[in-house]
Amino acid sequence: MTHTVHDADLGWLELALIDAAPRHYPVPDPQADPAVVALPPLRVPPELAAKAAGAQLTLLDPEGVPVATVEVVQAGPDWVAGPITPGDPITHHDHTSERAAFDSPAGPVHALVASTPAAFAVREALRRTARSRGGAVIEIVPVPTGRETDRHAHRWPRLAHREATRDPGDRIVVVPDPEGVHPISRLAVLVGLARRLGAEHVVVPPTDRTAATAVAAATRLPVDVVDVDPAQAGLADEDLTRLLDTGAELPDWFAEPAVAQEWHTLHRSRAHAGLTVLFTGFSGSGKSTVARALVSRLMDSDPRSVALLDGDVVRHHLSKGLGFSRADRDTNVRRIGYVASEITKAGGIAVAAPIAPYAATRADVRAMVEGQGGFVLVHVSTSLAECERRDRKGLYAKARRGEIPEFTGISDPYEVPDDAEIVVDTTNRSVDAAVDLVWAQLSALGYLSD
């Protein structure tokens, strides 16, 4: 039997395989102490749990590589428990070697744990405190996992190393940082790893103060909180994003020059990053015409590659065989979203103009794309009456006669967006004027170069 592990489960499994967490999946316990290092339960589909007790369960990574085996000693409705045996290494092509060696430096060892990202001033304060005790310093840097499709994910280890300006003999250890982990559990795992590496004490930033108290009591290892100037403790996520989106300089207390450059490489400004512009609206609203005109203007003036995901072309090559039922139209839009996210990840501009009538599907497309770059939803708000008046193909007339089932606006709903960045009505507006409006808004949002 096999089970594929993803995202946070894969991160936790890797922590177990590098001995930062126990190699044993536990029975679910809602009363478990988060300061006691343990893997979270391994959740599996009910049909797999029903036949897994007493068997071996091979765990696969998303590429199908067998990375571990679980001897299932207990199983519940949707979980399994038992000891873990390593299989093939979990590989990270950008930083595999960084996790391969866990030899400790000679002499007294002091560990510092810094969240990624952390302000340069905070990390330096942690290093100074650790070095003041004498001996070697190990810096443990948790790197977010579960972001395999994120264009930024492979740069996190590189950024961590850029930030790790340290004396000869010191070392940095990059470890997985699964998403959604209780802060006390997270620190307990990292402190446990520090102890395994021979650390006599650990220093952490003030953001971990509450967790540090609980973990120190549970592990009986000194965990010191290093206070820093509150003004230099860090940047709020929205402030950091704003500076990076606009290409502005980062404060010198937040990042030394080499690290600041890495941040700007990690997070390109909006005018240089990939972008998806998704037009949505009724059939006949003018969205496809405006989208094509926008693509033409972008090709003339923007250095990024531009791709138009034309509805008929997508239907022929990507969605061949799909009909026009609600489920099939949903699938078509999601496929467009996936292709657009890949174009965006590669630094290009994708422009698409499906009807995309359902808010949930549009939200899914937004989520797919925003991990890779920019996303702008353009609602072409031309009224249904105007679209029917323009109906050159007679589709609305057929839909009203019942000849076309599930037709948006007639026998199937159109959910008006409440999250569109741009709204344009083409009723009394030329194509050029509509493109002018979209262009001005894209520029105001910072997605176009001056």
Q: What is the pLDDT of residues 268-302, one digit of tens each?
A: 889 999 999 999 999 999 999 999 999 999 999 99
Alpha carbon 325 to its chain centroid, in Å, reads: 31
Q: Both tokens of residue 150?
A: 């994120």
- Specify the CATH class of 275-444 in words: alpha beta
pLDDT at residue 6, rounded to an integer: 87
pLDDT of residue 156: 59
Collect the ranges in the chain with pLDDT lower than 50.
96-102, 116, 147-149, 166
Q: Are strands 56-60 and 66-71 parallel, antiparallel or unpaired?
A: antiparallel
Domain positions in the chain: 2-86, 96-240, 275-444
Q: What is the pLDDT of residue 413?
A: 93
pLDDT in the model for residue 65 = 92
- Contact criterion met (CB below 8 Å) for 46 and 23: no
Instruction: Judge if 96-240 and 275-444 fold alike in CATH terms.
Output: yes
Give me the residues paired with residue 280 across strands.
Answer: 379
Q: Which amino acid is at 305?
A: S
pLDDT at 420: 97
Cross-strand bridge partners of residue 85: 69
Q: Count CB-CB contacts under 10 A for residue 239.
A: 12
CA 176, 182, 187, 193: dihedral to nearest 10 degrees? -50
Looking at residue 219, what is its pLDDT?
78
Predicted local distance difference test score (pLDDT) of residue 149? 44
Strand, helix or coil for residue 176: strand
Fold of 96-240: Rossmann fold (3.40.50)
